[in-house]
Amino acid sequence: MVKDDGEQMGIMSTQEALDMATEQGVDLVEVAPKANPPVCKLMDYGKYQYQLRKRQQEAKKKQVQVQLKEVKIRPKTDEHDLQTKIKHVRRFISKGDRCKVTLFFRGREIVHKQYGEDLIKQIMDEVSDIAKVEQEPKAEGKTIHIILAPQSQK
Q: Identify the CA nearest to 76 among candidates 29, 47, 110.
A: 110
Q: Is 41 exposed, middle or buried (0-12, 13-18, 19+ CB in 10 A)?
A: buried
Convert the pLDDT of each residue in 43-86 to its tens digit.
Answer: 888 888 999 899 999 988 887 777 899 999 999 889 999 999 99
Q: Give the containing element (helix H, strand E) for 142.
A: none
Identity of residue 42: L
Whether 32 and 99 share a structural domain: no
> In terms of domains, do 40 and 73 share one?
no
Q: How high is the pLDDT of residue 101? A: 95
Whether 49 and 76 map to the same domain: the answer is no
* Structure confidence at residue 153 (pLDDT): 59
101 and 145 belong to one structural domain: yes
Q: Does pLDDT of 144 surpass 90?
A: yes
Q: What amino acid occupies position 106?
A: R
pLDDT for the residue 91 = 93
pTM score above 0.75: no
Q: Total structural domains in the chain?
A: 2
Provide the residue range defining the domain that includes 13: 2-60
Query: Is there a contact between 143 and 103 (Cβ–Cβ < 8 Å)?
Result: yes
From CA 24, how far away is CA 83, in angstroms rounded?
Answer: 71
- The residue out of 60, 85, 104 marking a domain boundary is 60
> How many Cα atoms are found within 13 Å in the side-chain-facing hemisphere of 76?
6
